[in-house]
Amino acid sequence: MFRFPQQGATPLAMAHLKALIFDVDGTLADTERDGHRIAFNKAFAAAGLDWEWDIPLYGQLLAVAGGKERIRYYLECFRPDWPRPQNLDALIADLHKAKTRYYTELLAAGAIPLRPGVKRLLTEAREAGLRLAIATTTTPANVTALLENALAPDGVSWFEIIAAGDVVPAKKPAPDIYFYTLEKMRLSPQECLAFEDSANGIQAATASHLATIITITDYTKDHDFRDAALVLDCLGEPDYPFQVLRGEVGWTTYVDVPLLRSLHQQWTSTLSQG
């Protein structure tokens, strides 16, 4: 179990924003419906299985984080009739590997773009000297494929830490992946902001004491985001304004570094007063 960084290491009144930590699926790109779901179905068909995850069903399956865990949940809750082979664990692992291969092919074909404002904000953050990290339940191969194909050929190098997949034993909503990331970066949570899109994500970030910005998707728009610092439909662009669903942003119409610094200052001020 990863230890939570000591709160006393950086007094709240002295905390400055130093890093941004991003989820991947649904946050950097809307990968779930038209990416992972399609790749899962391709893997099932190639294995000769009669499983088909349509859009509504996949929305229910997203309650479980992690691809291998999602397959097992599907069998337990939706296919109790399907006879289990003795090598079920190996079958699930093989299906997940095949799914990752199909998903990578979709990314290479340019089928999954970044969400509005993501590349611009990452670029601005780097120029402002903010450190970048990823904390996700998806596999390292999926992260690499997305960054190289949708962000930049050297997109992986934009991030100081990429905490992905099975690097920690418990996946979101457990906070382990954030504890791991903070520990590796030698930062306290009050020096960072997290970006998420789902209930599992906000629960993990909140348990890590991270202020969190949410950008919803069609699958997560009805999730409980009461603990978020800000809830938006997307990060926005100068010519594509965001919609604020919860929180205050003043006159700003897209997320930029000054807005992040302002949100962070408000958050640390609120904590120090509480």
Query: What pLDDT is attached to residue 1?
Result: 35
Determine whether 94 is an active site residue: no
For residues 96 and 217, what is the distance between their CA atoms, to the nearest angstrom?
24
**How many independent structural domains does the chain possess?**
2
* Average pLDDT along the chain: 92
Predicted confidence (pLDDT) at residue 98 exceeds the cutoff of 80: yes
Residues 217 and 227 occupy one common structural domain? yes
Among the listed residues 23, 176, 197, 256, the single catalytic one is 23
Report, as an integer, the average pLDDT of 117-133.
98
- Residue 13: C-alpha distances to residues 208, 211, 212, 247, 272 (Å): 19, 15, 19, 22, 7
Residues 173 and 184 in one domain: yes
Do both 148 and 268 map to the same domain? Answer: yes
Q: Could you say which of 91, 108, 125 is where a domain stops?
A: 108
Looking at the structure, do residues 137 and 233 belong to the same domain, yes or no? yes
Of the candidates 25, 30, 176, 256, the residue annotated as catalytic is 25
**Is the pLDDT assigned to residue 6 strictly greater than 80?**
no
Indicate which CATH number applies to the domain containing 127.
Answer: 3.40.50.1000
pLDDT value at residue 37 = 95
**Within 13 A of 5's CA, how many CA atoms are on the CB side?**
21
Contact 82, 75 (CB under 8 A): yes
Q: CB atoms < 10 A from the CB of 268, how many?
A: 21
Looking at the structure, do residues 41 and 97 belong to the same domain, yes or no? yes
Work out the number of other CB atoms within 10 angstroms of the CB of residue 93: 13
Q: Which residues contact 236 (CB under 8 A, 6 or more apart)?
A: 116, 117, 242, 253, 254, 255
What pLDDT does residue 148 have? 95
Question: Is 224 annotated in the active site?
Answer: no
Q: Which one of 85, 108, 131 terminates a domain?
A: 108
Flag whether pLDDT at 3 surpasses 50. Answer: no
pLDDT in tens, 13-69: 568 999 999 999 999 999 988 899 999 999 999 999 999 999 999 999 998 988 999
Predicted pLDDT of residue 271? 75
How distant, in Å, are the alpha carbons of 125, 155, 231, 238 from that of 202? Answer: 22, 25, 11, 27
Closest CA to 164 of 190, 186, 188, 184: 184
**Which pLDDT tens digit goes with each residue over 199-227?**
999 999 999 999 999 999 999 999 999 99
| Residue finishing a domain among 48, 82, 108 | 108
Place of tokens 């799914």: 99
Q: Are 25 and 141 in a shared domain?
A: yes
pLDDT band at residue 2 under the 50/70/90 scheme: very low
> Percentage of the chain with pLDDT > 90?
84
Quick check: is 2 in a domain? no
pLDDT at 5: 41
- pLDDT at residue 163 tops 80: yes
Give CA–CA dist 110/91, Å, rounded: 29
Q: Could you tell me if 56 and 146 lie in one domain?
A: no
**Residues sharing a CB contact under 8 Å with residue 104, sequence separation 6 or more, in sequence order:** 141, 142, 145
Residue 13's pLDDT is what?
54
Q: Is 6 helix (H, G, I), strand (E, B) or coil?
A: coil
Residues 120 and 245 in one domain: yes
Range of the domain at 58: 33-108
Residue 33: how many other CB atoms lie within 10 Å? 16
Question: Are 180 and 218 within one domain?
Answer: yes
